[in-house]
Structure 1
């Protein structure tokens, strides 16, 4: 009803014939409890209804992943390409419609898998009621083989929950028209059942074997010529993928994340020219095979390692193969960055959909040129730089005006930071193991004049770190002090007074293992902190320790304070303090 804006629309719902006793068999719909759901269901566009009903294939109380579900919708042909080819965007819109209508619930965000959710029991029962025998969930622990056989031939979308003790039901081979198959089992004998399964069920478009204990995918997978979505995530003992997988000319999505025993991808993966999503992060895959440049419709490539010599160099793709993959979006982690070969040709700045980038250099010493060549698009929101050995951070960093999270770790030669305070949307900043000695006006983005004093004219126009909420400083063993800059007003009697604002939204700060830091910067003390964590900073502890420290009163107003071995919290409602 939330989308109904006029009295006429509300009255139309009230007078719907679905409320009538003759339109619905109330015994089958549990005394009419499905009728309100029917009203909401028929109010959806027909294309969204189909996407909703597809969810009936999952077991009751099953935790679904939004991005995974959208890929499954695409595999079934439910989503049509827009002029820009963005079926994923269409799927996102359909998902939001269903969420707004309360067909989904219990939303959570997982660091690795993204948004997760469930369906209410009644909504799930309603979806299964509407799909009749098209969707089926089989729990072999509770249902016998006979139950499976009675309905399997008409099933199009099937989920199977198998215990380690149960044998694989061969009756599934009768489901010749099966389009989707999810098998949830830890039984290692599944591998022996897969060859015959793939020979019989050649109409499958979506196959999910995630978390199974199979050690290899058989060559027969090449017979699944209609397969578009293959999820092998978290198959911990999976060691190999057959070359026949590269014959799957319709494959759109391959997920081998967290397959730690998997050492390589099929070498002819470049033949999968319809592949839109390739997820590898957390697996044992050592390199991306050559030919990846041919997959120009690729939307997801979450991990890319630069092969620096060795036996795999002739088989591995280099950075220049990323040049024409301009549809890549979401998150990309580039590891083992070494020489500048191919870095500029990767053209990361042309990948406008890229939101999260991690550049990991490891132990390379000569990488100043490399990092400058890896300029990301200006719309980047998350940036992590690790093990960078250059003296200066890249010039392009200050062009990232949409950046929300910046993490700099183990950049142990960097002594001076750019004016990060001028990044207008930065919300979280982590500085770990740098050579920085001062977090001063340059860091804040506040200019000084030739005499070293703050230029009031510049101050009047600057808000340093306007949206920063979280600041973490770890292992800055040479940092001694901030610059003593604090909030102030400028202007005279004949001028409009303007206040400088530094970190006006800072809520949480962690300072750890900074042994030379003598005092907290004034701009941190003046910020509206709710949490302050200080560890392995002897000078700070001595200066700010409760009641004994000379500057305890400067932090005593902060509700939650944590030093090395004690925590002080302020109970705001009762006015009590607890140690």
Structure 2
């Protein structure tokens, strides 16, 4: 609601859940309101001080969702943080526990159930999506009776509708209506019968996959790709494509729900409703557990798949009971407290993990690991999934090359990783390798020998060691792709060999020329960049050090309907900017180090007549433009959605007329002494103004 957006200065929604943790809640609220500098804060007091500073004098709207803890002193400590807010601030708490509502000290609002009419409308929308109810009156008659049994509860209605949308015979609907599950006394609330019916309707392979997800804590947001890789590692599904179909089927039945989308390739987040999570636990029969919730040593002996919350003590004592486990197949640390990197005891690496000889899936992600023992993987012969992402590791032990069954290896955001083992080609079953955001990694030539590799995420091609032909032959590239040292490409014919337009799974492309190189022929440089045009699925493009004097036309092609982010950096010879205003969905634009630019002319806005120039742009940056003097404005409503503008180190820029930026909220101008005061006139809607 736009009125709510404008009324409150700060807004935050945080899911508290059953496990009350003041540290996690405080840190989560800081992240919700946009505070990103949290790495130095590793204790509750520091976080609370920072949160008070952020809230001070601001009108707040905070939703604390799904609160279970009715310990008054703990709640009072949290409530005191919100006293810093301005008059008119609102704190909303949702709970299913009446004692929590009473503890809050304000009038409780009890949510009613849906009426019969609304229940049928919701049920019909999800069960008869592609069918006209008037043409199938028999479905409506039975469907209304089923909807009534759900007692107005949306989760129950959606779960049952998810079953019935795939059933085309009315007798199949009647079977659901007549099921004995409705009569079980322990299921009188209407939700569990619907969920049990939904579970019972699953084919055997989907029941296994769903039950495995009991490994995730309540309210935990998981990535679809991780779930599928874990299914594959444990033999529940053979191929990623099949796993994706299974996941989508479970989602269509309302057992999984999406909570966030992202432009990144594999970062959609999902969760299970608490009651769906309870159902998964029942279905797993204690084979999948969360360590913190186990009910005794007998459960630890039974379990095959386990997750646990990463702690601050190195986790040795927590994992010690598993040092002799011969049955454990999944070990998954969960970063519930939103920590960045936590210490892992060396005793875990040396004394516990090597003994878990039945492991199929192991994650060490988010641990502050700098090196792994050389013999760690010698006995872990069955390992199929290994996640070492977001660690500080510099190199992998050679013993990893003996993991002949390994299918998935995740190394993303290992910023200090420098090299891979020389015998990586021994990983004959490796299907999926993610080396995204590993800027120091020198990708060796022998990666091409991984014959079973189906997906390579975050590839970096260093031309000189690798050829354009090698890039062209790599058909398994996904996510981000970097091509560096492009000054080694001689001409258009060589650039064609990269087959860049065929790489339809690459959504982030980085093209880089050495800063020290110079070009002999500007037209040749333009031809080379022209042939490096990506597929139309591209979402982000970075061009660094390009040596031509102007850009090819593809950079401003309005048919790039998915392109949302563009960065042009240190292209010092260019004297003009492309018509970027006609990119229809561009949200972020950064232009830096363009020392050949003296004017930003009307050409910059493009010639698209149906939409305003830069129709979707939200953030614009100009930086280090030493010769830039003039910025021509159309005055036709360009930049209608621009919220953030940054102009830095443009010493010759003279702006003597105001620019109409109706949506601008944050403006930063620094190192631009010739920008006149007139430029800032009329910008009354700005919330943050920084001029230095």
Corresponding residue of 1:330: 479
Q: Distance in 1 between matches of 2:469 and 2:294?
A: 54
**CA shift digits 1:373-419 (9 cap, x unpaired):** 53322331211122334433345424562322211123233221122
Equivalent residues of 2:206, 2:246 under 8 A apart? no
Corresponding residue of 2:625: 476
> Higher helix share goes to which structure?
2
SS at match of 2:454: coil
Corresponding residue of 2:322: 172
Taking structure 2 as the reference length, what is the TM-score of the superposition? Answer: 0.63
Q: 1:131 aligns with which of 266, 278, 284?
A: 284
Superposition RMSD on alpha carbons, in Å? 3.8
The structure-2 alpha-carbon separation of the partners of 1:30 and 1:289, relative to structure 1 and needing over 3 Å to count, comes to: farther
Corresponding residue of 1:544: 679
Correspondence 1:514 to 2:650? yes
261-270 vs 332-341, which moves further: 332-341
Q: How does 1:13-92 map to 2 (within 5 A)?
A: 14=149, 15-17=177-179, 19-22=181-184, 26=186, 34-42=192-200, 47-79=205-237, 81=239, 86-87=241-242, 89-90=244-245
Corresponding residue of 2:302: 154
Q: How does 1:94-133 map to 2 (within 5 A)?
A: 94=249, 96-97=251-252, 101=254, 103-104=256-257, 107=260, 114-133=267-286
The structure-2 alpha-carbon separation of the partners of 1:428 and 1:125, relative to structure 1 and needing over 3 Å to count, comes to: same
Corresponding residue of 1:497: none
Q: Distance in 2 between matches of 1:538 and 1:248?
A: 61
Shift of 1:135: 0.7
Q: 2:605 aligns with which of 426, 444, 462?
A: 444
Equivalent residues of 1:252, 1:275 under 8 A apart? yes
Shift of 1:560: 1.8
Taking structure 1 as the reference length, what is the TM-score of the superposition? Answer: 0.74
Correspondence 1:423 to 2:583? yes
Q: 2:665 aligns with which of 531, 547, 564?
A: 531
Shift of 1:180: 1.8
Equivalent residues of 1:366, 1:389 under 8 A apart? yes
Corresponding residue of 1:93: 248
Equivalent residues of 1:259, 1:283 under 8 A apart? yes
The structure-2 alpha-carbon separation of the partners of 1:110 and 1:380, relative to structure 1 and needing over 3 Å to count, comes to: closer
The structure-2 alpha-carbon separation of the partners of 1:217 and 1:388, relative to structure 1 and needing over 3 Å to count, comes to: farther
Shift of 1:11: 2.4
Q: Distance in 2 between matches of 1:428 and 1:213?
A: 32
Corresponding residue of 2:574: 414
52-61 vs 431-440, which moves further: 52-61
**CA shift digits 1:102-128 (9 cap, x unpaired):** 644754759797234444444333321
**CA shift digits 1:485-524 (9 cap, x unpaired):** 333xxxxxxxxxxxxx7445545443334333333788x5
Corresponding residue of 1:386: 544
Q: How does 1:168-247 map to 2 (within 5 A)?
A: 172=322, 175-183=325-333, 186-193=344-351, 196-198=354-356, 200-201=357-358, 204-214=359-369, 215-219=371-375, 221-236=377-392, 238-247=393-402
The structure-2 alpha-carbon separation of the partners of 1:407 and 1:542, relative to structure 1 and needing over 3 Å to count, comes to: same
Q: How does 1:342-353 map to 2 (within 5 A)?
A: 344-353=496-505
Q: Distance in 2 between matches of 1:511 and 1:520?
A: 15
SS at match of 1:291: helix
Q: Distance in 1 between matches of 2:582 and 2:554?
A: 13
The structure-2 alpha-carbon separation of the partners of 1:89 and 1:416, relative to structure 1 and needing over 3 Å to count, comes to: farther
Q: Distance in 2 between matches of 1:518 and 1:91?
A: 59
Give the total of aligned pairs: 505
Corresponding residue of 2:404: 249
Shift of 1:559: 1.9
**CA shift digits 1:409-468 (9 cap, x unpaired):** 23233221122233333333222221322221222224xxxxxxxxxxxx8678644444
Q: Distance in 2 between matches of 1:112 and 1:187?
A: 33
Equivalent residues of 1:329, 1:354 under 8 A apart? yes
Corresponding residue of 1:365: 517
Shift of 1:287: 0.9
Equivalent residues of 1:212, 1:235 under 8 A apart? yes
Corresponding residue of 1:577: none
Corresponding residue of 1:490: none
The structure-2 alpha-carbon separation of the partners of 1:520 and 1:67, relative to structure 1 and needing over 3 Å to count, comes to: farther
Equivalent residues of 1:343, 1:373 under 8 A apart? yes
Q: Distance in 2 between matches of 1:389 and 1:479?
A: 19
Correspondence 1:9 to 2:143? yes
Corresponding residue of 1:401: 560
Correspondence 1:560 to 2:686? yes
